[in-house]
Amino acid sequence: MAEYKPPIRDITFTLRNIAGLGDLLEYPAFGHVDADTIDGILDEAGRFTAEVVAPTNRVGDTEGAVFADGAVTTPEAFHKAWRQFVEAGWNAVDGDPEYGGHGFPRVVGLAIKEMMVTSNMAFSLNPMLTGSAISLLEHHGSDDQKAQYLEKLITAQWTGTMVLTEPHAGSDLGTIRTRAERNLDGSYRISGTKIFITWGDHDLTENIIHLVLARTSNGPPGTRGLSLFIVPKYTLDENGEPADRNGVECVSIEHKLGIHGSPTCVLSFEDAAAYLVGDENQGMRLMFTMMNQARIEVGLEGLAISERAYQDAVAFAADRHQGRTIGDAAEGNAPIIDHPDVRRMLMIMKASTEAMRAMLYDTAAATDRAQHAPDEETRRIAADRQALLTPVVKAWCTDLGVELTSLALQVHGGAGYIEETGAAQHYRDARIAPIYEGTNGIQGVDLVTRKVPMDGGGVVRSYLAEIEALDEPLGEAGEQFHALRVNLRDGLAALSSATEWLLARDDPNDGLAAASPYLNLFGTVAGGFYLAREALHATDHSDANPWLSAKVETALFYGTRILPGAKGIVGAATSGHAGVFAVDADMLGGTG
C-alpha cells in the first residue's frame, strides 16, 4: 500500500472554482475567515491525515474492533490518533463558535473530512456520525440540550451515534418497536433492541450520545408515531459530567466484509434514561436533518476510497514492469503504466474521482448558502439545490466507489487479490457505502418521487438550464472542447427527456422502476458538467502549467470516454415498470 498523498491542489482548485469559496467568505457568518487561513488549515490537515491517521488504516483492518466481556476495544493505534485528533481540534473546524467550534464553512469541513476518510474510512466514521448528531442538535435541540451536549460533541470529547435500525425494521422505519415511556418529570425510559449501530460502543471517549428513534405509547402507527431521543451512555451529573451508567449495553458486534476497525454494534436498551428532542411524533422529520448530512458524507466515502485506491494503483502501475510497449526498443519490460489499457483504467479513476469531488463540494457549498446567505432568495435556491443533489451524491458516488476500487484491484492484477497490497481492503471497505444511510435504491426513489417533482419540476429544470448555459462557453473555448461539448449536449438531451418523462408519469411504478437508472444518468451527465466547468477555469493558464493542462485533459477524457454512456442509460430510465414485473416472482428462481 502506497503512502497517502493528500490532493491539496485538487481540493483547493475545486473549493475555489466549483464551490465558490471566495463568495462564501463574503458572508457575515464567515467574516473571521480568510483564504490564506483556509490554505494553511488544508495543508496542516493534509499533513495530519497522512502522518497520523493513514498509518492506522491497515492496522484497523487486520486487528479490527474486538468485543469481549460486554465492552468494545479498538486498536491501540486508534487511541493515539484519536487523542491527537481531539487535541488538534479537527472536529471543531465547521462547528458553531458559541459551543467551541471555529465557524468555518461546511464545505471547508468537508474538504478536511475527505482527507480523513481517505486516510482511514473505518476510523472516520466515528467523527462523521458525531458531526451528524451535532447538526441535529444545532437545528432541533433545546437550549438546555445544546448547553449540555454540543460543546463536548463539537470538540470530540464525546461522540454521537444514529440509532434507527432494528432486527425486523431495516429501511422500513415505520415498523420500529422500541418503546419510550414518559416519566413524571418529563424525561423518558426507552426499551428495545437496535442493530447495525456504527461506533455504537467503543473505548475512545468517556461518553457516547445516542440519537434514538422510538415509539411513544400514544403515538400513531407508522413513521408518524416516531419520536427522537437523546440517550447518553452515561447520564450526566449536576455539572454536566458523565456519572451513572445508563441502561444501554452493547451485546455484540458484527463480523463484516470490511471497515473492520469500525465497531458495528447491537445495542440493548433496558429502561434507559432518555430525553425528547423536539416534540413527540416528530422524530422522522428531525432525523432527516441528521440523515441528510450523513448521506452527503457517505457520498464523500465513495470519493475518498476511490482517491486512496487510485493513488495505490498509480504507484503500483509505475513500479510493476510487465511486457513491452509497441515500438519500444529498450531492454527489459516496461512499467505497466505505459500500457494503453492500464492507462485507460487509471484515467477512468482519475476523471471519475475529480467529477465526484466537484459534485460533493457544490452540494456542501449549497448547505453553506442555504444557512448563511444574507438574502432569503439565495437561501431558498441553495436549499433546493442541496435537496436535489443529496440523493445523487450519496448513490452515484458510492456506486462509483465500488466500481473504481474494483478497477484499482484490476490494475494490480493477481497481486490485488492478495491482502498485503491493500487493494482488496479498499474494495471490501467500499462495498458498505451503497448500502447504509439509505440504500442506493432508496436514494433513487427519493430523487424521482420527492426531489425531481419539487416546485413542479422547477428545481431540476433550473439545474439542467445551468448545464445548457455551459454550451456557449465551451463553443468559444476552442476546437479541443468540441467532442466534450457535443457529448455534454447529447447527455443533457438524454437527461432532459428522461426528466420530462418522469414528470409526466401517472403510474408511480414507472418512476420507481426508473429510479436507479435515472439517478445514474443524472450523475453521469452532472459529472461531465462539473469537469467541463473545471476545464474552462483551467484552460486560460494550462499552457504554462502542466497540472492545469492535466485538468483539461482529464475533463476531455471524461467527455469522450464516459459521458457518451449517458445515451445508453436513457432507455432503461424511460422504459416503465412492465419489463421489471414481466417474470412472475415464483419464476425468478428458474425452478418452476
Spatial separation of the C-alpha atoms in residues 457 and 265, rounded to whole Å: 41
Q: For residues 491 and 563, is the Cβ–Cβ distance under 8 A?
A: yes
Residue whose C-alpha is closest to residue 432's, from 291, 313, 266, 262: 262
What is the DSSP secondary-structure string of 291-354?
HHHHHHHHHHHHHHHHHHHHHHHHHHHHH-B-S--TT--SSSPPBGGGSHHHHHHHHHHHHHHH
Confidence (pTM): 0.96
pLDDT at position 541, please? 67
Q: Which residues contact 127 (CB under 8 A, 6 or more apart)?
A: 85, 90, 91, 113, 116, 156, 159
- 322: cell is 510487465
Q: For residues 240 and 151, is the Cβ–Cβ distance under 8 A?
A: no
**Is 376 assigned a catalytic role?**
no
The dihedral of CA 128, 133, 134, 138: what is its sign?
Answer: positive
Dmax (CA) for the chain in angstroms is: 87
Task: Label residue 357 exposed, middle or buried (CB < 10 Å: 0-12, 13-18, 19+).
Answer: buried
Residue 111: in which H helix or E strand, if any?
Answer: helix 106-119
Residue whose C-alpha is closest to residue 74's, from 339, 260, 248: 260
Spatial separation of the C-alpha atoms in residues 490 and 525, rounded to whole Å: 9
Spatial separation of the C-alpha atoms in residues 545 and 128, rounded to whole Å: 36
The dihedral of CA 301, 304, 305, 306: what is its sign?
Answer: positive
Spatial separation of the C-alpha atoms in residues 436 and 344, rounded to whole Å: 31
Q: Using one digit for the tens of pLDDT, what is the confidence trace for 286-325?
A: 999 999 999 999 999 999 999 999 999 999 999 999 888 8
The distance in angstroms from the start CA to the end CA of the chain is: 48
Spatial separation of the C-alpha atoms in residues 138 and 145, rounded to whole Å: 9
How big is the CA angle at 105 (ends 102 and 109), to the nearest 5 degrees? 80
Q: Is 186 left (phi over 0), alpha (psi -120 to 50) or beta?
A: left
Spatial separation of the C-alpha atoms in residues 37 and 30, rounded to whole Å: 12
In order along its 592 residues, the chain shows pLDDT tens digits of 789 999 999 999 999 999 999 999 999 999 999 999 999 999 999 999 999 999 999 999 999 999 999 999 999 999 999 999 999 999 999 999 999 999 999 999 999 999 999 999 999 999 999 999 999 999 999 999 999 999 999 999 999 999 999 998 777 788 899 999 999 999 999 999 999 999 999 999 999 999 999 999 888 999 999 999 999 999 999 999 999 999 999 999 999 999 999 999 999 999 999 999 999 999 999 999 999 999 999 999 999 999 999 999 999 999 999 888 887 767 778 999 999 999 999 999 999 999 999 999 999 999 999 999 999 999 999 999 999 999 999 999 999 999 999 999 999 999 999 999 999 999 999 999 999 999 999 999 999 999 999 999 999 999 999 999 999 999 999 999 999 999 999 999 999 999 999 999 999 999 999 999 999 999 999 999 999 999 999 997 656 789 999 999 999 999 999 999 999 999 999 998 988 888 888 888 765 5
pLDDT at position 590, please? 63
pLDDT at position 588, please? 86
The beta strand positions in 126-204, using DSSP E, are 159-163, 179-182, 188-198
Alpha helices in 431-565 (DSSP H): 440-446, 458-469, 471-476, 482-503, 508-539, 546-557
What is the DSSP secondary-structure string of 255-271?
--SS-TTS-EEEEEEEE
- 461: cell is 429544470
How many residues are there in the chain? 592
pLDDT at position 1, please? 75
pLDDT at position 329, please? 64
With b for 16 or more beta-carbon neighbours within 10 A and e for fewer, the 450-483 pattern comes to ebbeeeebebbbebbeebeebeeebeebeeebee
Spatial separation of the C-alpha atoms in residues 404 and 370, rounded to whole Å: 32
Task: Label residue 332 exposed, middle or buried (CB < 10 Å: 0-12, 13-18, 19+).
Answer: exposed
- In the set 76, 437, 500, 534, the catalytic residue is 437
What is the DSSP secondary-structure string of 413-459?
GGGGGSGGGSHHHHHHHHTTTTTSSS-HHHHHHHIIIIITTGGGGHH
Residue whose C-alpha is closest to residue 389's, from 530, 562, 567, 551: 530
